[in-house]
């Protein structure tokens, strides 16, 4: 989805194609989880990148990074027996408390409850 974001220029006649190197974005995301690094790998201005995210994904860079962090956290909760503290740290959250509150806000249950329910419903 992030591979190619297209916008009409200010003049309306030309189109610029911004090609994002998804692997570079993912490495930046995994390493630093910050907007400046995402912008840096695109070779476009922050404003342009933010506009392309909103046009393509219907959310901003920060919101998309948070969504991806939560998806990574879900994966870690499902695949590994890690503590919430370890997962919060691995996914770039500033504290386990912030991670737990954000997880519950997004998914309706705590990380521990999610892990317990996943273990209970997993096939043997």
- Check whether residue 75 and residue 103 sit in a common domain: yes
Angle between helices 61-79 and 111-121 (to 10 degrees): 50
Q: Which residues contact 76 (CB under 8 A, 6 or more apart)?
A: 82, 87, 90, 91
Instruction: Give the separation between CA 107 and CA 102, rounded to whole angstroms.
Output: 9
Pick the closest to residue 44 from 60, 61, 20 (CA basis). 20
Q: What is the pLDDT of residues 48-106, one digit of tens each?
A: 988 988 988 898 888 888 888 898 899 889 888 888 998 888 888 889 999 999 999 99
Predicted structure pTM score: 0.66
Task: Quote the pLDDT of residue 10.
Answer: 35
Question: Which residue segment(s) compose the domain that 9 sits in?
Answer: 4-58
CATH number reported for the structural domain that contains residue 85 in this entry: 1.10.10.60
Query: Is 78 found in the same domain as 115?
Result: yes
């Amino acid at each position: 989805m992030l591979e190619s974001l297209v916008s009409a220029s200010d003049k309306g006649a030309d189109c610029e194609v911004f090609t994002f190197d998804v692997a570079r974005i993912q490495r930046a995301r995994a390493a630093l989880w910050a907007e400046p690094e995402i912008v840096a790998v695109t070779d476009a201005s922050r404003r342009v990148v933010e506009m392309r995210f909103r046009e393509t994904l219907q959310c901003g860079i920060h919101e998309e990074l948070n969504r991806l962090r939560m998806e990574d956290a879900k994966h870690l909760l499902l695949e590994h027996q890690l503590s919430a503290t370890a997962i919060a740290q691995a996914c770039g959250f500033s504290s386990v408390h912030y991670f737990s509150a954000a997880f519950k806000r997004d998914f309706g249950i705590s990380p521990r409850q999610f892990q317990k329910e996943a273990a209970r419903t997993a096939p043997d």
